[in-house]
């Protein structure tokens, strides 16, 4: 497996089905994966069937206020409890095949033809699930460290943005013909910004920022808004409003955070935009982008399209670049080149990957990360 952290990965890392299968098992099913906002489960009895690293998972709002997750397989003969990709709202979890019924906490309540007292061990198989900052995370490993230690100090860095209270004003889904790692790598450097993002480069400086010192499984850093720009938008306009708890410096910074393996949180003084990755194949990734605004601005009827237009445009540029890299690294004989000084975040990501590849283990919180990332 690849191991160098001074050069990019060999083409095989982005094209091989066996590398992809290993990553889906080790890095995605055994890592904490963001599956969306907590608003996915709006009410008691809300149930949603999703895919996490190729495994069917049922998310449930069980009335205790805590989200629950189970394998989306009936304990009788395996029928899906809710069809993959669908959502329902019911007071019980019900299998349509032979009508076994489970409580919202997963316990078996009724199985036609069975004495239910003898079926205590036939509850749904639980999956670890947690709400952090208004996002739902799932982990299919029983032994992985808890989400809090994975998040580390991202908690305090994002605290001023009060992420749990933010409202979604827009969602866009993109089907990108590129390996998921290329999308992470692209987010972790702004070396490409002057040539790939002329509009972004007009409102944000593309050099001169700093990396954050991370204590979790995340990489990040900030870059400054240009003096002429009020916010990240195509014409530099934006809301004349700052998150009240942001310190003076941060108000003029765009902060990039990649919580591995698959959630990017980009924070501005007036809104957040997130990218959530779902690897679909060695050369295919679904990216769901969400625009999050503070409730004050939403209630005031603020026009938030400046943020949507800017990032939708920037996304298109990034996906075109990532898809081109996917084609380029797929050329037989491709040799990876050296990383630039401004690709420190990418270098840190490749180090984490190399450790995971070498140990046959999921991505782990490093003990010595002092380099971060910029988009
Ligand atoms: S498979 Fe679910 S009740 Fe038979
Ligand atoms: Fe970019």
CA distances to 132, 231, 247, 292, 352 from 253, rounded to whole Å, are 23, 10, 10, 17, 27
**The domain that contains 230 carries what CATH number?**
3.90.380.10
**Residue where a domain stops, chosen among 89, 114, 143:** 143
Q: What pLDDT is attached to residue 117?
A: 74
Are 195 and 344 in the same domain? yes
Same-domain check for residues 317 and 209: yes
Tell me which ligand sits closest to the C-alpha of residue 322. 2
Tokens (6 digits) for 71: 């394998």
Residue 292 Cα to ligand 1 midpoint, Å, equals 40
Q: Do residues 292 and 333 share a domain? A: yes
155 and 260 fall within a common domain: yes
pLDDT of the chain along its 375 residues, tens only?
443 458 999 999 999 999 999 999 999 999 999 999 999 999 999 999 999 999 999 999 998 878 999 999 999 999 999 999 999 999 999 999 999 999 999 999 999 998 877 667 899 999 999 999 999 999 999 999 999 999 999 999 999 999 999 999 999 999 999 999 999 999 999 999 999 999 999 999 999 999 999 999 999 999 999 999 999 999 999 999 999 999 999 999 999 999 999 999 999 999 999 999 999 999 999 999 999 999 999 999 999 999 999 999 999 999 999 999 999 999 999 999 999 998 999 999 999 999 999 999 999 997 764 444 444
Ligand nearest to the CA of 311: 2
Within 13 A of 141's CA, how many CA atoms are on the CB side?
19
Both 120 and 155 in one domain: the answer is: no
Distance of CA 122 from the midpoint of ligand 1 (Å)? 12
Task: Verify that 166 and 73 share a domain, yes or no.
Answer: no
* Residue among 97, 106, 119 whose CB has most ligand 1 atoms within 8 A, to mutate: 97
In a domain, 16, yes or no: no
Residues 263 and 121 in one domain: no
Residue closest via CA to ligand 1's atom 3 equals 98
Same-domain pairing of 214 and 245: yes
Q: Which of 60, 297, 257, 253 is nearest to 165 (CA)?
A: 297
Position 19 in a domain: no
> Do 170 and 126 have their domain in common?
no
pLDDT score recorded for residue 371 = 44
Domain shared by 216 and 319, yes or no: yes
Cα(329) to centroid(ligand 2), Å: 18
Compute the distance between CA of residue 112 and CA of residue 114 in angstroms, rounded to an integer: 6
**179 is written with which tokens?**
């390996």
Give the Å distance between the CA of 34 and the centre of ligand 2: 21
Domain that holds residue 175: 151-359
Q: Which tokens in the block code for residue 117?
A: 């007292």
Closest CA to 273 of 188, 184, 161: 161
Final residue belonging to a domain, choices 143, 170, 198? 143
Closest-CA residue, ligand 1 atom 4, reads 98
Based on the fold, state whether residues 77 and 137 are members of the same structural domain.
yes
Q: Work out how many domains the chain is built from and give that number.
A: 2
pLDDT at 370 (0 to 100): 46
Q: What CA–CA distance (Å, rounded) separates 298 from 333? A: 52
């Amino acid at each position: 497996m690849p191991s160098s952290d001074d050069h990019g990965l060999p083409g095989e890392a982005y094209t091989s089905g066996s590398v992809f299968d290993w990553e889906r098992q080790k890095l995605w099913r055994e890592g904490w994966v963001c599956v969306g906002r907590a608003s996915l489960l709006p009410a008691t009895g809300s149930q949603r069937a999703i895919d996490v690293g190729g495994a069917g998972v049922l998310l449930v709002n069980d009335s205790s206020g805590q989200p629950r997750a189970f394998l989306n397989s009936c304990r009788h003969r395996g029928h899906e409890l809710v069809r993959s990709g669908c959502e329902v709202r019911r007071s019980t979890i019900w299998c349509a095949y032979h009508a076994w019924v489970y409580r919202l906490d997963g316990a078996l309540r009724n199985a036609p033809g069975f004495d239910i007292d003898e079926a205590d061990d036939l509850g749904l198989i639980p999956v670890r699930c947690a709400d952090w900052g208004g996002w739902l995370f799932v982990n299919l490993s029983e032994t992985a460290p808890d989400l809090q230690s994975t998040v580390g100090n991202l908690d305090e860095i994002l605290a001023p943005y009060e992420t749990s209270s933010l409202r979604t004003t827009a969602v866009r889904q993109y089907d990108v013909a590129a390996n998921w790692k290329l999308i992470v790598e692209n987010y972790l450097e702004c070396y490409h910004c002057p040539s790939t993002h002329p509009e972004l480069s007009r409102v944000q400086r593309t050099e001169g920022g700093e990396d954050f010192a991370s204590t979790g499984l995340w990489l990040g850093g900030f870059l400054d808004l240009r003096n002429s720009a009020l916010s990240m938008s195509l014409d530099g306009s934006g809301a004349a409003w700052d998150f009240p708890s942001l310190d003076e410096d941060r108000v003029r910074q765009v902060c990039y955070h990649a919580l591995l393996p698959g959630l990017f949180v980009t924070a501005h003084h007036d809104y957040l935009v997130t990218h959530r990755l779902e690897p679909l194949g060695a050369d295919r990734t679904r990216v769901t982008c969400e625009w999050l605004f503070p409730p004050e601005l939403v209630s005031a009827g603020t026009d938030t399209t400046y943020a949507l237009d800017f990032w939708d445009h920037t996304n298109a540029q990034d996906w075109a670049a990532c898809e081109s890299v996917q084609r380029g690294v797929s050329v037989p004989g491709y040799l990876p080149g050296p990383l630039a000084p401004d690709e420190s975040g990418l270098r840190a990501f490749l180090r984490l990957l190399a450790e995971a590849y070498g140990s046959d283990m999921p991505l782990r919180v490093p003990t010595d990360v002092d380099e971060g990332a910029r988009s």
